[in-house]
Structure 1
Amino acid sequence: MELKRITPREAGFWPDLEERLASRFGDLHGLVVLKDGALLFERYGKGEDHSWGVSHGVVTFGPATPHDLRSVTKSVVGLLYGIALADGLVPPPEEPLLAHFPEYPDLAADPARAALKVEHALTMTLGVEWREDLPYTTPENSEIAMELAPDRHRFILERPVVEEPGRTWHYCGGAAAIAARLIVKGAGEPLTEFARKRLFEPLGVGSFEWLAGDDGVHSAASGLRLTPRDLARIGQAVLDGGAGVVPSWWLDRALRPRVEIGEGAAYGYQWWVGTGQPPFAAGYGNGGQRLVVYPDLALVVAITAGRYDAPDAGETPQAVVDELLAARLA
């Protein structure tokens, strides 16, 4: 599906927008900006890419080149959950979580876990011990330990309870894995098939890749690979109230601030929510991956980059976004 193009002046930006964004592009791998559903800016770079630490070598990126999205994957899973909920395939957020995992009767019988609800997985407020502030190269990191576990879902759900569920947000790839497992259980098919039929194909998203662990389970936390254009298409669907694919009522719920994180940020259902001006919804991924939707501006920004595990990986993507917002005509 070819994207209609729009000039900066037509879109309400300074005519030198392209030069301004190019000056901030740095070592990014890809940048696609949509305004009112039309292509406002597109640029690609060259650099080393990886899939979960396995190098693809130096890649010259272009519109058809897929890229690791890392944790932006979680936000896509959040959309899939809403589609599945509309079909009656998954439980609503307010239902008890462990009631839907009868394969773990010992965990369901544990009084300390009785308060767990589906919503706590969707909002990363499970209240269990989880460490992702450590390098993703060590099993001390809980996401890596999850990938190495013989049963990833039991690993997540049996983590020690350290606080009341729903009280505090802690970054947790396991929460996305639990949400995805509920989708797979309800749909009776792999996550990739459900995504292809119910989200990607209806939106005109082309080919995709979804990495799986050694157990064959597709990673809901960080496994999706898409082109920046297709990532932007997903953002445009969010901007368009679901585009008839994702239920609009689900987006109203998913993009609502559910738990405060601080510094003008909150978390919804697997989506980051900016509560300042202009408000936004976003998916963020390791290495500088970004999908940012500005509803009030009819603006979608998709960014791919290769600074995996770098502490300053977000600086260039944020500089690009800041330049874009600064280039709007008053």
Structure 2
Amino acid sequence: MDERVEAVLRDGRAPGFHGLVVMRGGEVVLERYGAGPDHRLGEPLGHVTFGRDTLHDLRSVSKSVVALLYGIALGDGLVPEPGAGLTAQFPEYRDLAEDPGKAHLTIEHALTMTLGLDWNEDAPYTSPANSEIAMELAPDRYRYVLERPVAEEAGKRWRYCGGATALLGGIIARGTGRPVEEYAAEALFGPLGITDFAWTKGGDGVASAAAGLRLRPVDLAAVGQLVLDGGRGIVP
């Protein structure tokens, strides 16, 4: 594999190649890095020569990390069970909590992206027609998600929804009493030996739970290995 990877890079068959990490038996057996254009949540960073210590935009892999953080916080008794009411976690939106069409929504519906709300991420992620971009532009991201019209019964159909992960990030922050990025550093990254990361924030100063995490590829591989290993006591 090593020679084949080298040949692909040498022959220019992987333009814009950022990085590759291969693990076997829990150990890194191959690492290769390239160069190309990079972005931070849509912000151009120019042409970057990548190395082992270059942070990489994880985009929607951030969602999986947030789900792991919810699991850790749940095991520590810091957040409600998945079956708990969703709107009840945001009592400041009393009008939404009293909406009979949303009274049945639970945290599990957010975890499984089956909220049944009107949400569309088919439009380009440069356009406010995309629901996730509209959420980031809204003055209150949590209210924006929860006030979306009901499109269908919750729990019936999966619909890709960055807003669901944003709500989970808010629940984690409220339950742990700290921003999601600080809890991640203590509860997940620290035990894995991950010390270098960044989490891009929105205009409201809140980390973008749906797409803002930046990690070194080798550290993302460590997170993946953690999942393959059943959580190793870090994630219950």
One fold, TM greater than 0.5? Answer: yes
Q: Give 2:162's aligned amino acid.
A: G
Q: Give 1:143's aligned amino acid.
A: E
Task: Tell me the TM-score normalized by structure 2.
Answer: 0.95
2:122 and 2:135 mapped to 1: Cα distance? 15
Is it true that 1:162 corresponds to 2:151 in the alignment?
Answer: yes
Within the candidate set 14, 20, 27, 2:4 is matched to 20
Residue 124 of structure 1 corresponds to which residue in structure 2? 113
Residue 143 of structure 1 corresponds to which residue in structure 2? 132
1:52-89 CA distances to partner (integer Å, 9 max, x unpaired)? 22221111111111011101000000100000001111
More strand, by proportion: 1
Q: Give 1:121's aligned amino acid.
A: A
Q: Give 2:103's aligned amino acid.
A: A
Is it true that 1:34 corresponds to 2:23 in the alignment?
Answer: yes
SS in 1 for 2:191: helix
What's the offset of the Cα at 1:22?
4.4
Is it true that 1:199 corresponds to 2:188 in the alignment?
Answer: yes
SS in 2 for 1:89: coil
Q: Is the 8 A contact 1:206 1:230 kept in 2?
A: no
What's the offset of the Cα at 1:206?
2.3
What's the offset of the Cα at 1:96?
1.5
Residue 235 of structure 1 corresponds to which residue in structure 2? 224
Residue 83 of structure 1 corresponds to which residue in structure 2? 72
Is it true that 1:112 corresponds to 2:96 in the alignment?
Answer: no
2:60 and 2:226 mapped to 1: Cα distance? 19
2:173 and 2:6 mapped to 1: Cα distance? 42
Is it true that 1:185 corresponds to 2:169 in the alignment?
Answer: no
RMSD over aligned Cα atoms: 1.2
2:5 and 2:150 mapped to 1: Cα distance? 46
What's the offset of the Cα at 1:46?
0.5
Residue 152 of structure 1 corresponds to which residue in structure 2? 141
SS in 2 for 1:84: helix
What's the offset of the Cα at 1:170?
0.7
Residue 68 of structure 1 corresponds to which residue in structure 2? 57
Extract unaligned runs of 5+ from structure 1. Answer: 1-16, 248-330
Is it true that 1:51 corresponds to 2:40 in the alignment?
Answer: yes
Q: Give 1:20's aligned amino acid.
A: R
Is it true that 1:224 corresponds to 2:213 in the alignment?
Answer: yes
What's the offset of the Cα at 1:44?
0.6
2:6 and 2:146 mapped to 1: Cα distance? 45
2:158 and 2:84 mapped to 1: Cα distance? 19
1:163-219 CA distances to partner (integer Å, 9 max, x unpaired)? 000111111000000111100010111111100011101101121100000100100
1:163 and 1:22 mapped to 2: Cα distance? 50
2:132 and 2:7 mapped to 1: Cα distance? 36
Q: Give 2:217's aligned amino acid.
A: P
Task: Tell me the TM-score normalized by structure 1.
Answer: 0.68
Q: Is the 8 A contact 1:128 1:160 kept in 2?
A: yes
- Count of residue correspondences: 231
Residue 208 of structure 1 corresponds to which residue in structure 2? 197
